[in-house]
């Protein structure tokens, strides 16, 4: 939400702790999120009240879409693996996805995602050559052709979307290749582990079960101020990166990317999922 309400520059400042976690811009974004997630008329259809969000596994959370008791589920693209066998994922199917729209079009077309990195432990020429291949459009197109069942897409600019099989993958590729896309990695993934997978995670769980916005943000900011681990810098969009963000949306793609498609990287990126 912060990426959508405040834009990528403020988002980067937040990730790098150049502005405090309880900055007014962050508080405004959280308030907007709370207007949806803490409204019992809007959430956890078929599963419970607002507090039940904290105890509902993400694997279970989207399933009520199939029986009509839930209309939308916002989830990462790897959620595709959780639909029961036989579920039709298509515009006219059982579930489908859509781009999580911008709050303020003036902020650009924000997209959020996450990734994995392929790291080399040797600088031997053959290792570097393999990394270069993983960064190439040759690899992206060959991988697309070798994935006849769908469930994969690349952010490589040289990817020919016609080589993708799944309509969902093709939609994802279009988002990736949109020059208006303002891609950013998931903020918590870039924060020190003790925060991103610790105090931030716990704080938001406490928040959804009743803790106030201000107390939640203040406590996470305090933990950041005490955290000695160096912060990782922001990662801007790759080639034309997006994230298939979906508000409580039925389905997401599973995009992957290795490298930029232009040159070998010390650690080519493989896009594991989009949000």
Tens digits of residue pLDDT in 119-151: 899 999 999 999 999 989 999 999 999 988 787
Q: What is the mean pLDDT of the chain?
A: 81
Rounded to an integer, the average pLDDT of 3-7 is 93
pLDDT of 93 > 70? The answer is: yes
What is the structure's pLDDT at 116? Answer: 64
- What confidence tier does 168 reach under pLDDT thresholds 50, 70, 90? confident
- What confidence tier does 250 reach under pLDDT thresholds 50, 70, 90? very low
Percent of the chain with pLDDT over 70: 81
Map tokens 């509902």 to a residue. 56
- What confidence tier does 228 reach under pLDDT thresholds 50, 70, 90? low
Q: What is the pLDDT of residues 47-64, one digit of tens each?
A: 999 999 999 998 999 999
Rounded to an integer, the average pLDDT of 13-17 is 96
pLDDT of 117 > 80? The answer is: no
> Which of the pair, 240 or 96, is modelled with greater confidence?
96
Q: What is the DSSP string of the chain?
A: -HHHHT-HHHHHHHHTTSS-TT-HHHHHHHHHHHHHHT-TTTS-TTT-SGGGGGGS-HHHHTGGGTTTS-------GGGGGGSPTT--BSTTSSB-------S-GGG-EEEEEEEEE---S---HHHHHHHHHHTSHHHHHHHHHT-TT---B---TT--GGG---HHHHHHHHHHT-TTEEEEE-HHHHS-HHIIIIIHHHHHHHHHTT--HHHHHHHHHHHHHH--SPPPPP-B--TT------TT-S----B---S-SSS--SS-EEEEEE-
- What confidence tier does 241 reach under pLDDT thresholds 50, 70, 90? very low
pLDDT of 5 > 90? The answer is: yes
pLDDT of 249 > 70? The answer is: no
Rounded to an integer, the average pLDDT of 104-112 is 84
């Amino acid at each position: 939400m912060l990426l959508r309400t405040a834009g990528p520059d403020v988002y980067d400042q937040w990730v790098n702790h150049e502005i405090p976690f309880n900055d007014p811009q962050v508080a405004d974004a959280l308030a907007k999120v709370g207007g949806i997630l803490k409204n019992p008329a809007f959430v956890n259809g078929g599963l419970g009240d607002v507090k039940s969000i904290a105890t509902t596994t993400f694997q279970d959370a989207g399933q009520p879409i199939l029986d009509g008791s839930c209309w939308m589920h916002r989830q990462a693209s790897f959620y595709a693996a959780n639909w029961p066998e036989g579920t039709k994922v298509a515009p006219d199917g059982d579930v489908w996805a859509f781009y999580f729209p911008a709050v303020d079009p003036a902020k650009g077309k924000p997209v959020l995602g996450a990734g994995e990195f392929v790291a080399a432990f040797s600088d031997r020429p053959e290792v570097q050559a393999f990394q270069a291949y993983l960064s190439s459009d040759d690899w992206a197109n060959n991988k697309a052709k070798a994935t006849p069942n769908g469930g994969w897409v690349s952010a490589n600019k040289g990817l020919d979307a016609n080589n993708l099989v799944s309509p969902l993958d093709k939609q994802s590729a279009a988002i990736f290749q949109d020059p208006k896309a303002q891609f950013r990695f998931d903020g918590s993934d870039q924060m020190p582990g003790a925060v991103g997978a610790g105090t931030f995670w716990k704080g938001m769980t406490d928040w959804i079960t009743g803790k106030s916005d201000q107390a939640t943000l203040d406590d996470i900011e305090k933990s950041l101020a005490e955290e000695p681990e160096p912060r990782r810098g922001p990662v801007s969009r790759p080639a034309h990166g997006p994230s298939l963000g979906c508000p409580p949306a039925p389905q997401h793609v599973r995009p992957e990317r290795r490298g930029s498609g232009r040159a070998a990287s010390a650690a080519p990126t493989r896009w594991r999922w989009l949000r």
